[in-house]
Amino acid sequence: MSRLRLAFESFRRPRFGHIRTRLVVLYTGLFAIAMLSIGLIGQVMIENHAQSSVRTELVTSSSVFDRLWALRAKSLADSADVMARDFGFRAAVASGDQATILSALANLRQRVGVPYAFVVTQDGDVTGDGAATLRRDVAAIPYKLAAGRNSAVVTSGQDVYRMVVSPILAPTEIGWVVFAVRLDEGEMQSLERLSAIPLTATILRHDDGGHWMPATGGLAVPAGAIDRFMAADGSHEMHPGLLGLSSGRAIALARPLASTGTAPDAMLLLTFPLIKALAPFRSLQIGIVLSGLAGLLLVLWGSHRLAGSISRPIAALDDAARALEDGSRAEVTVIGHDEIGRLAVSFNRMSAGIVERENRIAHLAFHDTLTGLPNRVLFRQQLDAALGRAVRVGEQVAVMCLDLDGFKLVNDSFGHPSGDALLRVVGEVLSNLASDGMVARLSGDEFAIVVGISVDPDRPRALAQSILDALREPVVANGHSILTGLSIGISVAPGDGHEPSTLLKNADLALYRAKQDGRGVFRFFEPGLDAAARQRRQMELDLREALHNGQFRLDYQPIFDLKADRICGFEALMRWEHPRRGLVSPAEFIPVAEESGLIVAMGEWAMHEACREAIRWPDPLRVAVNVSAIQFRNSGFADIVVQALARSGLDPHRLEIEITESIFLEGSGPTLDLLHKLHALGCRIALDDFGTGYSSLSYLRSFPFDKIKIDRSFVINVADDVGAAAIVRAIVDLAGALDMETTAEGVEDSEQLAALRSQGCSSIQGFLFSRPLTTEGVARLLKDQRRDVMPTVSAPVQRLIPPPAPIELPPIRAIGR
Which among 36-44, 170-178, 467-475, 788-796 is the span making contact with other proteins, rule CB under 8 A?
A: 170-178
- Compute how many residues bind other proteins; rule: CB under 8 A: 14
Site track 147-166 with other proteins (rule: CB under 8 A), x = hit: x-------------------
At closest approach, how far in Å is the CB of 144 from other proteins?
12
Which one of 34, 169, 306, 642 is in contact with other proteins (CB under 8 A)? 169
Give the nearer residue to other proteins in terms of CB position, either 142 or 796.
Answer: 142
Please state the closest distance from residue 93 (CB atom) to other proteins, in A: 8
What is the helix (H) or strand (E) element at residue 57, kind and residue range?
helix 19-85
| Closer to other proteins by Cβ: residue 174 or 213 | 174
Q: By C-beta, is 93 or 426 nearer to other proteins?
A: 93
The verdict on 37 binding other proteins (CB under 8 A) reads no
Position 120 contacts other proteins (CB under 8 A): no
For residue 720, report the phi and psi dihedrals to the nearest 5 degrees.
-125, 5
In 741-807, alpha helices (H): 750-759, 775-786, 797-800
CA distance 173 to 124: 12
Other Cβ atoms within 10 Å of 46 Cβ, number? 18
- Give the closest residue to 439 by CA, choosing from 374, 502, 503, 520: 374
* CB nearer to other proteins: pick between 81 and 595: 81
Of residues 91, 194, 583, 754, which one binds other proteins by CB under 8 A? 91
If one asks whether residue 365 binds other proteins (CB under 8 A), the answer comes out as no
Q: With CB under 8 A as the contact rule, which of the stretches 91-99, 386-394, 578-586, 673-681 interacts with other proteins?
A: 91-99
Amino acid at 318: D
Q: What's the closest the beta carbon of residue 119 comes to other proteins, in angstroms? A: 13
Beta carbon of residue 123, minimum distance to other proteins (angstroms, whole number): 9
Strand locations in 518-585, DSSP E?
Answer: 522-524, 552-561, 566-578, 582-584
- Minimum distance, C-beta of residue 172 to other proteins, in the bound complex (Å): 4
**Contact window for other proteins (CB under 8 A) among 84-92, 428-436, 536-544, 597-605:** 84-92
Pick 85 or 357: Cβ nearer other proteins: 85
Q: Quick one: which of 43, 122, 634, 702 contacts other proteins (CB under 8 A)?
A: 122
Helix (H) / strand (E) containing 446: strand 446-453
Phi, psi (5° rounding) for residue 9? -70, -30
- For position 87 contacting other proteins by CB under 8 A, the verdict is yes
Strands 446-453 and 480-482: unpaired
323 counts as binding other proteins under rule CB under 8 A? no
Does 171 interact with other proteins (rule: CB under 8 A)?
yes
DSSP at 280 = G
**Cβ at position 120, least distance to other proteins in Å:** 14
Looking at the Cβ atoms of 172 and 481, the one nearer to other proteins is: 172
Told to check if 815 binds other proteins by CB under 8 A, we report no
Q: Check whether the bond before 620 is cis (ω within 30° of 0).
A: yes
Smaller CB separation from other proteins, 170 or 734: 170
Backbone φ/ψ region at 10: left (φ over 0), alpha (ψ -120 to 50), beta: alpha
Minimum distance between the CB of residue 86 and other proteins, rounded to whole angstroms?
10
**Which C-beta is closer to other proteins: that of 97 or that of 446?**
97
Task: Show contacts with other proteins in window 174-193 (CB under 8 A).
Answer: 174
Our measurement of the distance from residue 289's CA atom to the centroid of its chain's CA atoms, rounded to an integer in Å, reads 52
For residues 647 and 626, give the distance between their C-alpha atoms in angstroms, rounded to a whole number: 19
Nearest to other proteins of 123, 339 (CB atom): 123
Using CB under 8 A, which of the segments 87-95, 109-117, 133-141, 214-222 binds other proteins? 87-95
In this structure, are residues 507 and 404 in contact, taking their beta carbons and an 8 Å threshold? no
Binding of residue 532 to other proteins (CB under 8 A): no
Q: Could you say whether residue 85 binds other proteins (CB under 8 A)?
A: yes
| Three-state secondary structure call for residue 12 | coil
Task: Name the residue nearer to other proteins (CB basis): 173 or 458.
Answer: 173
CB of 226 to other proteins, least distance (A): 35
Residues 599, 764: Cα–Cα separation, whole Å: 27
Q: Which residues does 178 contact at the CB level (< 8 Å), separation at least 6? A: 117, 118, 119, 120, 128, 138, 141, 142, 163, 164, 165, 166
Work out how close the CB of 146 gets to other proteins at its nearest, in angstroms, rounded to a whole number: 10
Out of 48, 95, 189, 369, the only residue in the binding site for other proteins (CB under 8 A) is: 95
- CA dihedral sign of residues 701, 707, 713, 718: positive
Contact window for other proteins (CB under 8 A) among 65-73, 90-98, 391-399, 584-592: 90-98
Whether residue 670 is preceded by a cis peptide bond, meaning omega within 30 degrees of 0, is no
φ/ψ (deg, to 5) at 33: -60, -45
Are the C-beta atoms of 181 and 161 separated by less than 8 Å? yes
Of 90 and 513, nearer to other proteins (C-beta) is 90
CA atoms of 155 and 163, how far apart (whole Å): 10
Type of residue numbered 449: I
Q: What is the rounded distance in angstroms from the CA atom of residue 761 to the CA atom of residue 743? A: 7
213 strand-pairing partners: 205
Question: Which segments within 581-736 are labelled E, that is strand?
Answer: 582-584, 622-626, 655-659, 684-690, 707-710
Of the two residues 145 and 399, which places its CB atom closer to other proteins in the complex?
A: 145
**Interface with other proteins by CB under 8 A: which residues?**
85, 87, 90-91, 93-95, 122, 147, 169-172, 174
